[in-house]
Amino acid sequence: MNDLDLCYLPALDALDAFRSRRLSPVELLKAQIARAEQVEGEINAFTDRYFDEALAAAKLAEARYMREDGRLRKLEGLTVAVKDEVNIAGKRTTNGSLTLKDNIARDTHPIVERLIKAGAIIHARTATPEFSSAYVTYSRLHGVTRNPWNRAITTAGSSGGTGASLAAGTTTLATGSDIGGSIRAPAAMCGVVGFKPPYGRNPEVAPWNLDMFGHQGPLARHVGDCALLQNVMSGHHPRDIATLRQKVTLPTVFPEGKTGSGVKGWRIAYATHLGDGVVAPDMKANLLAIVALLRELGATVEEVDLGWGHEISLAAQNYLDHLFGHWLVEIADKQGDLLCDYTLYYADRARRAGIEKFTDALRVMGKAYDSFGPMIERHHAFLCPTLATNAVRADQKPWEKMTVDGHEIDADYDWAMTHPFNMLGRLPVLAVPSGIGANGVPTGIQIVARSYDDRRVFQLAAALEAARPWMDSPARRPRL
């Protein structure tokens, strides 16, 4: 196996190779470091690198595998790139902002604590737009993060560096956060897998743990790897009152998926559009190809109309303008000269949001579930595109207009089809690749299941991955 193949080695396969001593964590890490040195100048996925510390940790992991006492942890020796949003004690956390360029964290986020305890090697931090506030990833502090598949195109945001690093092969696993699609949008744009867990499944720090839109979650190149990381992240934490005491452990291997029986007899719903939104033809075509595949695998698949309209996007915007937006207002009032133009744009919009819009947003959320809830209870899962288009510039401004299928749309909420499922935050949503678009950039779909039924979305995704593997050969990787 050459170094490039090592960089794309699935996490579960790497663990097997470590245990059998066919591969060392040091060898894998060195291959990824060399890959990062080769491609980072083009994609700019990392904000900080800890390569020397990581090599020392990899040598310790190698020694653990050489022993025969069986004391191996769940992520022993695997690299995990951590979004530059959560704290690691003694390390810089910038949130992509000049206001925090010298901010050294005093504590460690619960998610990262669990990763380190499980034996993960944190070798790099991944780029985010300033304060994770945009659907594209660039900042005055760190520059523009570019899509490994097409450097003119965005990775999406806000976990854009995470998606780029996985697609480029510079990490095995990675973390993200999702308040309006910030895990799922980069997963779709970069051709990887990302999970928005249901609210309360994974710990978060205050006050964001009390926001039902917000979630910390895993990204990976493969479904089983994503499940592996989610199992480490999830579960009740004493610092987060919202975390659920009942822990769900996902299988990392679904044997029925390999036989094609993983979704046989399932009843699956889909929609090519959410409400009156516009969707690019290749997004729709690739979703319909997945629908056809599921029928071949023995599922019954039917199109549904949720009855949603543009009020869904407005409600998500109003909700976030009041909570997340007013936090940006506080920063803008004190340090506005250091902020990115889009951060100031969101802050100004939040200033104009009246309280009546917040209560109206809650009303729309309830109405949205009035149609979605009964539908999802009758089906095993629901599918729709993750994004309306993948033709978005790497430096796209949120106030600029875009054209999709001959229609002018907003460059913010109109092209992401993710935020409705932050509104319905108890639903598990797994974003997986659906194909390649006309511009050579991946497309993706969202798999949604009923509240807190995480296993269903992973089982369906595993069946799709088994029938149509992703990134398992050079032909299905970006050319860098």
Residue among 24, 97, 139, 182 flagged as catalytic: 182
> Residue 276, Cβ neighbours under 10 Å: how many?
11
Q: Is there a catalytic annotation at residue 158?
A: yes
Buried b (16+ CB within 10 A) or exposed e, 94-106: bbbbbbbeeeebe
Q: Is there a catalytic annotation at residue 182?
A: yes
Angle between helices 51-66 and 25-43 (to 10 degrees): 160
Spatial distance between the Cα atoms of 207 and 395, rounded to a whole number of angstroms: 30
Spatial distance between the Cα atoms of 175 and 208, rounded to a whole number of angstroms: 17
Read out DSSP for 356-417?
Answer: HHHHHHHHHHHHHHHHHHHHHHTSSEEEEESBS-S--BTT--TTSEEEETTEEEESSTTTB-
Residue showing tokens 């690299």? 79
Cβ neighbours of residue 441 closer than 8 Å, sequence gap 6 or more: 147, 149, 150, 153, 189, 390, 391
Cβ neighbours of residue 127 closer than 8 Å, sequence gap 6 or more: 44, 45, 46, 47, 84, 96, 137, 139, 142, 145, 160, 161, 164
Identity of the residue numbered 265? G
Residue among 24, 133, 158, 177 flagged as catalytic: 158
Cβ neighbours of residue 255 closer than 8 Å, sequence gap 6 or more: none
> Residue 158, Cβ neighbours under 10 Å: how many?
32
> Which of 271, 222, 226, 250 lies closest to 464 in space, CA to CA?
222
Spatial distance between the Cα atoms of 141 and 301, rounded to a whole number of angstroms: 46
Q: To 5 degrees, how large is the angle CA 319–CA 324–CA 327?
A: 135
> Which of 117, 111, 118 lies closest to 93 in space, CA to CA?
111
Q: Is there a catalytic annotation at residue 473?
A: no
Cis peptide before 469 (omega within 30 of 0): no
Spatial distance between the Cα atoms of 170 and 167, rounded to a whole number of angstroms: 8
> Residue 306, Cβ neighbours under 10 Å: how many?
18
Spatial distance between the Cα atoms of 286 and 188, rounded to a whole number of angstroms: 12
DSSP state of 250: P
Between the alpha carbon of residue 159 and those of residues 12, 50, 248, 330, the distances in Å are 23, 19, 24, 23
Spatial distance between the Cα atoms of 28 and 33, rounded to a whole number of angstroms: 9
Tokens (6 digits) for 20: 């059998």
Residue among 24, 83, 97, 159 flagged as catalytic: 83
Catalytic residue list = 83, 158, 182
